[in-house]
Amino acid sequence: MYKHSTHMPMLLKVLRMTSGSVLELGVGWFSTPVLHYTCMEMNRFLMSYDNDQRFVGKFKAFSNDMHKMEFIEDWDKADILKPWSMAFIDHAPGPRRGMDAGRLSQHAEYVVCHDSEQKHDYVYEYGKIYALFKYRWDYTKLWPHTVVLSNFHDLKGMGE
List per-residue pLDDT tens for the chain, 160 residues long: 477 888 889 999 999 999 999 999 999 999 999 999 999 999 999 999 999 999 899 999 999 999 999 999 999 999 999 999 999 999 999 999 999 999 999 999 999 999 999 999 999 999 999 999 999 999 999 889 999 999 999 998 777 6
Q: Cα dist. 11→52, 73, 90, 98 in Å? A: 22, 25, 12, 18
- Is the peptide bond preceding residue 95 cis, with omega within 30 degrees of 0? no
**Strand pairing class (146-150; 135-139):** antiparallel
What CATH number does residue 54 fall under?
A: 3.40.50.150
Number of domains in the chain: 1
Task: Report helix angle 8-17 to 31-41, nearest 10.
Answer: 20
pTM: 0.96
Domain that holds residue 101: 3-159
Q: Cα dist. 123→27, 31, 38, 64, 133 in Å? A: 19, 21, 30, 33, 20
Gap between the Cα atoms of 15 and 35, Å rounded: 8
Q: Alpha helix locations (H) across 3-137?
A: 8-17, 31-41, 53-59, 94-103, 121-124
Whether the CA torsion 97, 144, 149, 32 is positive or negative: it is positive
User: What is the pLDDT at residue 140?
Assistant: 92
User: What is the pLDDT at residue 27?
Assistant: 96
